[in-house]
A and B are shown apart, each in its own frame.
Chain A
Amino acid sequence: MTTELLILTLFFLFMINTPIAIAIGTASLAAIAVQGDFSLMMVVQRMVAGTDSFHLMAVPLFMYAGTLMEKGGISQRLIDFANALTGWLPGGLAAVSIVSAMFFAGISGSAAADTAAVGAVLIPAMKRSGYPSDFSAAVQASGGSLGVVIPPSIPMIIFGFLTGASISRLFAAGILPGLLIGVSLITVSTLVAKKNGYAPGAVFSVRQIIVSFKRAFLALGAPIIILGGILSGIFTATESAAVAVVYALGVSMTVYRQIGIKDLVPIFTQASITASVVMFIIATASVFSWIAAMEDIPAALAGTLLTWTDNPVLLLMMVNLVLLAAGVFVETTAALILLVPMITAMLPALGIDLIQLGVIVVANLAIGMLTPPMGICLIVSASISGDRISAVSRRVVPFLIVLVVDLALICFYPPLTLWLSGLVGSN
């Protein structure tokens, strides 16, 4: 009874476009009220408990770092460097936008922020170079979704928070799959560009690479501090985010001098609001997780799946299908919180490492960011380029296909994720 009410209310509220956080909160609240044994104070306790975490602090901190880098000139220098590296390829600017997204992916932690930051510069540039507008938006959306696989990654932070998996290890595990996806996206964009005759944006020049590298030298320090700090164990993930904020503040205020004291308030306010949207979903979703645990829902759902098959390969494919479907309709944070407890309940039957599972989950959700109706990267890109979402989503199809191939590799070739994370630690 409680379970049915919870799921039906949630579904109904989603359908009528209730903000996701509120839909989850109100549905859980209704379930708690109907159940009858529980104090409504539980809603309050769980909401606060959901946000009260040192690990989750990395969410707003990486968003600050990302915004500061965007406004402070660090992103622009990274983009220039990417341009020197790959701008000479056929459809060069498309490759540039993906490489830039990869640099930026190493910094901001949020796919939407990556897409917005790089897209604001590169989508107009691609259009000026004569690329179709919807293709430019599709490239940018694909590159942006990569942001959650290459660390730092907010979905990985949330996965670690939910399962107790080490966030540092998850980050390390995402590096190689992220590179793989980046290379395959560039391959697709180059092939599409060659076929349609889109021009390179720049000529190959070693001098240009050196010049832009020098200009981007301090900017490159940011991803190096974050990844190096985490991999070597100098900082925890949250601390690396804080250090990145301070570094970005220092570089953009004293070296590049692109932001002043008076710019700080709007920058931090804006990023705080963006972060609080994610945090508020986590807050209400922890009410949901609590009532779900009380009513044994994740175990029951996992049990149902397990009655269909206990073959690990089939199970893993089913998990992927569920995640992909969820990614199509549900916002990333909500999808994580609703599904991860059920999936980890099946971990023994899946027979894979928790860290690898984390990367699989995040990669699935990255693909979900590219699929309508609820594809955040698609929405952001289309709003920058001014195209209809449906036009952009048609252009995204070749990228989606290669992403699914990459996903299969991540699923069935464990060293891709576990080799680097094994260097960080074995627990």
Chain B
Amino acid sequence: MGMVMALVVALQVVSRYMFNHSLFWSEELARFLLIWLSFLGATVAYCHGVHPGVDSLVRRLPAIWKTGAALAAYLAGAVLFTVMVVSGTQFAWFVRLQIFPATGISKWIIMAVVPASGAIFLVHCLAGICRVFDTEMNEKTEQTG
């Protein structure tokens, strides 16, 4: 997706200089690719845990507080992702009749990336919560056993 985006923009430059003809669809298409790439890429980054956060306080907390903070952080994510799914679907429906001028693509197709990525986020988020409980359990069994 990213490579297509780079090529589309480069093609626009070539077309403008070599053929003195400006492409109308290229800017819009590249923007759509950017939107999709940003949201879907962010879900992958979330799965890999590479979204930066501020861990300087949490690192100094005792274990039980750490677990609590991790759960709260996941819950904060879950709230946002749920809104992305619900309001995202609503918004895609809301703009279903609108189109983009140059390409004629319907806006809902672009907006659909929000509920779609929201759903993927939610899955990773739930998995994350399960992992927190698992570690908690394991540590307890280790302590007692």
A18 to B75, CA, bound (A): 10
User: Closest B-chain residue to A49, C-beta based?
Assistant: B35
Pairwise interchain contact B79-A29, C-beta atoms closer than 8 A = yes
Chain A residues bordering chain B, tally (CB within 8 A): 61
Q: Is residue B55 contacting chain A, with contact meaning CB distance below 8 A?
A: yes
Chain A, 12-54, contact with B by CB distance < 8 Å: what is the 0/1 string?
Answer: 0111111111110110010000000001110111011001111
Q: Total number of A-B contacts with CB less than 8 angstroms?
A: 190
Chain B, 53-76, contact with A by CB distance < 8 Å: what is the 0/1 string?
Answer: 111111000000000011011001
Q: Is residue A245 contacting chain B, with contact meaning CB distance below 8 A?
A: yes
Q: Is residue A157 contacting chain B, with contact meaning CB distance below 8 A?
A: no
Say how far B17's CB is from chain A's closest CB, in angstroms.
Answer: 8
Docked complex: A243-283 residues within 8 A CB-CB of B: 243, 245-246, 264, 268, 271-277, 279-280, 282-283
Pairwise interchain contact A17-B55, C-beta atoms closer than 8 A = yes
Q: Is residue A60 contacting chain B, with contact meaning CB distance below 8 A?
A: yes
Pairwise interchain contact B9-A239, C-beta atoms closer than 8 A = yes
Q: Is residue B103 contacting chain A, with contact meaning CB distance below 8 A?
A: no
Pairwise interchain contact A26-B80, C-beta atoms closer than 8 A = yes
Most buried by B among A16, A21, A29: A16
Say how far A375's CB is from chain B's closest CB, in angstroms.
Answer: 11
A234 neighbours in B (Cβ, 8 Å): 17
Pairwise interchain contact B9-A17, C-beta atoms closer than 8 A = no
Say how far B29's CB is from chain A's closest CB, in angstroms.
Answer: 11
Pairwise interchain contact A283-B7, C-beta atoms closer than 8 A = no
User: Closest B-chain residue to A282, C-beta based?
Assistant: B38
Contact of B83 among A43, A268, A280, A282 (CB under 8 A): A43
A381 to B48, CA, bound (A): 21
Pairwise interchain contact A41-B91, C-beta atoms closer than 8 A = yes
Docked complex: B1-40 residues within 8 A CB-CB of A: 1-3, 5-7, 9-10, 12-13, 17, 27, 30-31, 34-35, 37-40
Tell me the B residues contacting A by CB distance below 8 Å: 1-3, 5-7, 9-10, 12-13, 17, 27, 30-31, 34-35, 37-42, 44-46, 48, 50-58, 69-70, 72-73, 76-77, 79-80, 83-84, 86-88, 90-91, 94, 110-111, 113-114
Tell me the A residues contacting B by CB distance below 8 Å: 13-23, 25-26, 29, 39-41, 43-45, 47-48, 51-54, 56-57, 60-61, 64, 234-235, 238-239, 241-243, 245-246, 264, 268, 271-277, 279-280, 282-284, 329-331, 372-374, 376
